[in-house]
Structure 1
Amino acid sequence: MQLLQQTIQNIQSADHKMMEQARERIDGLCKPPGSLGRLETLAVQLSGITGELFPAIDKKAIIVCAADHGVCDEGVTSNPQNVTVFQTLNFPRGGTGVCAVAKITNAKIVTVDVGVKEDIPHDAGVIIKKIKYGTDNMAKGPAMSREEAIQSIEVGIEVATEEINKGINVLGTGEMGIGNTTPSAAILSVLRECNPNEVTGFGAGVGPGGIAHKVEVIHNAIALNKPNRHDAIDILAKVGGLEIGAMAGVILAAAAHRKPVVIDGFISTIAALIANELEPNVKAYIVPSHASEEPGAKIAAEMLGIEPMLQMNMRLGEGSGAALAFPILDAACSMMKNMATLEESMLLLKK
């Protein structure tokens, strides 16, 4: 708990003076005002995050947090749980979707076992931070204890901080965990105070009972566990997931170190909501990537007050959308550094 509290205390608001300087420079570039649209907004945000007019966003890492979910016992997914361990081992080998996309910007993939149901070999290239062998079945009781929920957040903080200390200056959030759209929808239902049928989707493959059964499981789990809407850690513990907590920790750590963090789709956005509940200043450090096909993703983004940059009809997870968005950050930084202002262009013409 001490690490979590220290991290939250270190999170400050964005550098608004630098954002004003960035906006002034952008408005003076050789182009019609606002003609580069959201690229301009992103550049201003990156300057506000880093406190630099020409931010360096060149050392990228996506932290993929892996864990299993006891609620899979309720038949909410058609995918076998052993896919989690299979894919967790596949990340260090470079064989997953996010690995393929990340190669275009040489982004590092960091894989963390927060709660995979099986043991991961220590020589597999995975960081072992296992808290427990998957969450408990939230349909029968709390998914985890409050202490375990805090531990999961602190795992994300630890791993992200270590990467930042190695020189990483932009992070992405990714996850692996069969069944994790169920706790994500449950968390969103509690935070939004809505019926789960408004935010529950197909996921990676819905179980034989269809979405109706998935909704019923979520509804019953919330009724049984009674998570406190005003206590993000209680929500995470009662109906959440270990990898969701870890991603929230990654986001908090990025904000505490004034680094941008690019979030992926539905599950990453839920983690961002948890982080934002713990410290609202984190919102300034979040860069949304793509609009997930999951119905809850749009609602979660609206609650957070962010708008995804890409519409790609994706719902893979893993951090794949974050990896795809990295080149847009590169473009925003290049615009700031390499595009001339009208004044600079006039001086060049006079030479």
Structure 2
Amino acid sequence: MLGIGFDIAPISHEFDDEIQSRIDNKTKPLGALGELEFLAKQIARVLGKDKPKISNPKLLVFAADHGIAAAGVSIAPSEVTTQMVMNFINGGAAINVFCRQVGFELEVIDCGILQPLEGVEGIIDQRLGAGTAPIHRQAAMTLGAVKQGMEMARARIEHHHQLGCNLIALGEMGIGNTTSAAAIMACIMEMDSIDCVGRGTGIDAATLKRKQMLVEQALHVHESELADPFNILACLGGFEIVQMTGAMLAAAERGMLVVIDGFIATAAAMVAVKINPNVRGYMIFGHQSDERGHCLMMEHLHARPLLKLDMRLGEGTGAALALPMIQAAAGFYNEMASFSDAGIEI
């Protein structure tokens, strides 16, 4: 498909009993660490059962603009994407604060914002264009752009893998991208747009109705082209959604953990799973967004989000806040004494 494939090994369950035994024999009642125990088991499956360690974690924010934003689906114009990207570069956004707090190294990638930031240090140029076409009228991009975006994302993941990173978290920025994500959700889950389209940045009732109508229109316009996941991206996606999808697949191909943020990142995750179902075993879902439909996405992917804080900011903020929990799960698995180690008889 598209001349680009991802060779992702299925998660091995060969050592599940041994991993579970190690968890169960820590100095605690069975299951007392709750979700951290499920998380520790996943980490051990992906990174190895003997002392799995999170190394050089990176959080990548993929930024791009969407043609449908001009139809009035957000409280903000497309120019805000560029302004927020500058805020990321200057260290003033919520994602900067959280990354500094938890120890993520942040990288900002321009996948195709409307106004490029030429000569600005600290931004990775992986532009596929100056925003997508409006999806309710035509395809967002060509299949060639989808392929190029996948290849760019794979190269970026390979760069970090070579530097010893084994955990990638993914976030995004792009005015109008909840509309694109809702269209992808409705397409893949075969749902009505009213159940997929939420208020995004906080739109009013009239704008919400328009947004729902535009998603329905997009699905109708591209109805005959949506059987293939690459076509779904070409017709309904965004440049940042394409590259997030490619990054997830490439990271799993390299045996890395992949931390998914909110609604838009999860839309990319659903496409990634359609391209190669083996990617699902490498995914950790940082949080459940307050955006309408995200809980249904979680159910569709059989996901167990680590946090539920009624957040809907994007930027990778939920993924960032999940890192201490991921480190805690690996930490107790590696360092907590067993009953025999501690000389405790039960």
Task: Name the % identity.
Answer: 34
Q: 2:84 aligns with which of 87, 93, 115?
A: 87
Number of the residue aligned with 1:280: 277
Match of 2:22 among 21, 25, 35: 25
Please tell me the residue identity of whatever aligns with 2:296: I
Superposed CA RMSD: 1.7
TM-aligned CA distance change 1:94 to 1:4, over 3 Å? farther
Q: Report the Cα distance in structure 2 between the residues aligned to 1:22 and 1:297, rounded to whole angstroms.
A: 31
1:294-343 deviations in Å (ceiling 9; x for gaps) = 11211111111102111101000000000000000110011011111111
> Are 2:4 and 1:4 aligned?
yes
- Deviation string for 1:59-82 (max 9, x for gaps)? 211111010000012111120111
1:262 and 2:254 correspond: no
Deviation at 1:207, TM superposition (A): 6.6
- Going from structure 1 to structure 2, the CA distance change for 1:345 and 1:227 (only over 3 Å counts) comes to farther
Distance 1:277 1:38, change over 3 A: same
More deviation, 150-159/44-53? 150-159
Distance in structure 2 (CA, Å) of the matches to 1:302 and 1:227: 27
Local SS of the residue matching 1:91: helix
Secondary structure in structure 1 of the residue aligned to 2:299: helix
Contact 1:114 1:155 in 2 (8 A): no
Counterpart CA distance in 2 for 1:214 and 1:185 is: 10
Helix, strand or coil at the partner of 2:90: coil
Which residue of structure 2 aligns with residue 168 of structure 1?
165
Q: Letter of the aligned partner of 1:24 in structure 2? A: S
Choose from 246, 250, 254 the match for 1:249: 246
**TM-score after normalising by structure 1:** 0.94
Letter in 1 for 2:277: P
Q: What aligned pairs does 1:63-102 form with structure 2 within 5 A after superposition? A: 63-102=60-99
Partner of 1:210: 207
Q: What are the superposed Cα offsets for residues 220-239 of structure 1, whole Å, 9 maximum, x if unpaired?
A: 11111225443111111111
Return 290-299 or 179-188, whichever deviates more. Answer: 290-299
How far apart, in 2, do the equivalents of 1:51 and 1:237 lie? Answer: 36
Residues 75, 208 of structure 1: 8 Å contact kept? no
Q: Helix, strand or coil: the match of 2:89?
A: coil
Give, as a single letter, the amino acid of the residue that structure 2 aligns with 1:295. Answer: R
- Compute the displacement of 1:206 (Å): 2.5
Which ranges of structure 2 fall in alignment gaps of 5 or more residues? none
SS at match of 1:17: coil
Corresponding residue SS for 1:4: coil
What secondary structure, in the 3-state scheme, does the structure 2 residue paired with 1:236 have?
A: helix
Q: Distance in 2 between matches of 1:161 and 1:19?
A: 29
Aligned match for 2:145, one of 145, 148, 166: 148
CA distance in 1, matches of 2:341, 2:95: 40
Corresponding position of 1:219: 216
Task: Count matched residues.
Answer: 345
Counterpart pick for 1:304 among 298, 301, 305? 301
4+ residue segments displaced more than 4 Å: none
Query: Which residue of structure 2 aligns with residue 180 of structure 1?
Result: 177
CA distance in 2, matches of 1:47, 1:231: 33
> Could you tell me which residue of structure 1 aligns to residue 321 of structure 2?
324
2: CA distance between counterparts of 1:299 and 1:208? 22
For residues 128-174 of structure 1, give each alpha carbon's deviation from its aligned partner in whole angstroms, at most 9, with x where no partner exists: 01011110011221111111122222222221221121121211001
Change (3 A) 1:35 1:146: same
